[in-house]
């Protein structure tokens, strides 16, 4: 699949797995657009040919290199002149070239519509540090269907969530990626996902996905405070003290000056357990508030005591869900 739009258009949002072979650079595309408005289509086409001509060989060879089966699906924004021109070029070097009808715009329309559907989610929840993400990935490893929103968002969802993660993609690309992960799921089986707020870092969840998560059965991991603190220290103490301090400052208004000051002291002194315990006060209160807005009849508390191994917890969750027939109303 070849996306022939500019690098900036591609970066803003693209079909996952597509390759960007731009007909024009960002500046060239801008100049062609200005020429079209000021001098008409004919002059714009001439300018486009002037830009594209010297690059034709390189673009054709690049397409051939990514398509060992000699088949390419080409698209631009609306499936117009850019994609038609590039499809012609690719055919001249022996590639079977099809143009995506309606272009990227039609893909976006389909993806956003799809994300408004109901999905058979069962949500893994629990207080900060209870191991939700580890359990979700253990379920995926065991062969379960999983939608890992934090992985797609490159963020763990809290003020500390960006530590160790790549730069977040655009919201548009996140929606595309969520669609791509869900388009082939079996709706007769559970899709496991993690309890999330409406935003994950700078990313906002699609409204339909968020509402589906909020209304789905929630398995709340009941883990001891000591286990939670140990997991947080294990996951975050490895980051620079400066970065940890910046994260604390982000939630200082909610922590209050006194608790924030003590948390900062813990970081400076390397007493990460103390900092974790102080910060959990805020996160626990926030999570409990969100929990209070859910249907209590769809919240299931599962105590784990001192069990912290994600694989063991995942096994117990699967048994619990089956035994209590939690999925009867969603499958």
Do 194 and 291 lie in a common domain?
A: yes
Tokens of 307: 């069990």
Q: What is the pLDDT of residue 230?
A: 94
- Residue ending a domain, choose from 111, 142, 164: 111
220 is an active site residue: no
Do 29 and 87 lie in a common domain?
A: yes
Task: Give me the domain span that covers residue 198.
Answer: 116-329
Q: What is the pLDDT of residue 45?
A: 87
One digit per residue, pLDDT tens: the chain, 331 residues?
999 999 999 999 999 999 999 999 999 989 999 998 899 889 988 988 888 888 999 999 999 999 989 999 999 999 889 999 999 999 999 999 999 999 999 999 999 999 999 999 999 999 999 999 999 999 999 999 999 999 999 999 889 999 999 999 999 999 999 999 999 999 999 999 999 999 999 999 999 999 999 999 999 999 999 999 999 999 999 999 999 999 999 999 989 999 999 999 999 999 999 999 999 988 999 899 889 999 999 999 999 987 889 999 999 999 999 998 988 878 7
Do 148 and 272 lie in a common domain?
A: yes
Q: What is the pLDDT of residue 54?
A: 87
Q: What is the pLDDT of residue 281?
A: 85
User: How many domains would you assign to the chain?
Assistant: 2
Do 122 and 100 lie in a common domain?
A: no
Do 32 and 130 lie in a common domain?
A: no
Q: What is the pLDDT of residue 273?
A: 95
Q: Strands of the chain (E only): list them.
A: 2-3, 19-20, 71-75, 96-99, 121-126, 145-147, 191-194, 199-200, 203-204, 218-223, 299-305
Do 190 and 291 lie in a common domain?
A: yes
- Residue ending a domain, choose from 88, 111, 134: 111
- Residue ending a domain, choose from 76, 95, 111: 111
Q: What is the pLDDT of residue 76?
A: 96
Give tens-digit pLDDT for 66-105. Answer: 998 999 999 999 988 999 999 999 999 999 999 999 999 9
Query: Which DSSP string do the residues of 301-315 spell out, in sequence order?
Result: EEEEET---HHHHHH
Do 268 and 186 lie in a common domain?
A: yes
Q: What is the pLDDT of residue 48?
A: 85
Q: Judge whether 220 and 302 are in contact, CB under 8 Å.
A: yes
Do 164 and 52 lie in a common domain?
A: no
Q: What is the pLDDT of residue 164?
A: 92
Q: What is the pLDDT of residue 299?
A: 95
Active-site residue, from 63, 76, 86, 317? 76
Question: Following CA atoms 233, 234, 236, 240 in sequence, which dihedral angle do they give, to the nearest 10 degrees?
Answer: 100
Task: Look up tokens 């694989």; give the residue.
Answer: 311
Q: Strands of 148-285 (E only): list them.
A: 191-194, 199-200, 203-204, 218-223
List the strands of the sheet with 299-305, edge to edge. 145-147, 191-194, 121-126, 218-223, 299-305
Do 174 and 269 lie in a common domain?
A: yes
CATH number reported for the structural domain that contains residue 319 in this entry: 3.40.50.300
């Amino acid at each position: 699949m070849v996306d022939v739009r500019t690098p900036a258009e591609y970066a803003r949002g693209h079909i996952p797995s597509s390759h960007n072979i731009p007909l024009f650079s960002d500046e060239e595309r801008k100049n062609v657009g200005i020429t079209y408005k000021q001098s008409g289509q004919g002059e714009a086409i001439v300018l486009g040919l002037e830009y594209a001509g010297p690059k034709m060989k390189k673009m054709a060879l690049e397409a051939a290199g990514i398509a060992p089966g000699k088949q390419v699906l080409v698209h631009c924004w609306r499936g117009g002149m850019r994609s038609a021109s590039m499809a012609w070029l690719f055919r001249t070097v022996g590639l079977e070239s099809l143009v995506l009808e309606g272009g990227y715009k039609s893909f976006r329309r389909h993806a956003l519509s799809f994300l408004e559907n109901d999905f058979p989610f069962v949500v893994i929840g629990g207080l900060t540090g209870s191991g939700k993400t580890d359990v979700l990935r253990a379920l995926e490893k065991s062969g379960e269907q999983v939608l890992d929103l934090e992985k797609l968002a490159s963020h763990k969802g809290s003020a500390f969530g960006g530590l160790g993660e790549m730069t977040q993609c655009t919201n548009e690309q996140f929606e595309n990626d969520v669609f791509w992960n869900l388009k082939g799921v079996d709706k007769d089986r559970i899709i496991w996902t993690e309890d999330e707020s409406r935003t994950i870092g700078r990313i906002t969840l699609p409204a339909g996905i968020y509402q589906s998560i909020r209304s789905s059965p929630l398995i709340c991991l009941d883990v001891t405070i000591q286990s939670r603190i140990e997991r947080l220290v294990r996951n975050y103490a490895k980051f620079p003290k400066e970065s940890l301090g910046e994260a604390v400052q982000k939630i200082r208004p909610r922590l209050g000056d006194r608790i924030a000051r003590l948390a900062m002291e813990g970081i400076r002194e390397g007493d990460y357990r103390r900092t974790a315990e102080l910060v959990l006060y805020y996160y626990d209160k926030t999570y409990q508030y969100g929990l209070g807005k859910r249907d209590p009849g769809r919240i299931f508390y599962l105590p784990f005591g001192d069990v912290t191994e994600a694989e063991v917890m995942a096994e117990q969750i699967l048994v619990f869900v089956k035994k209590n027939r939690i999925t009867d109303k969603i499958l």
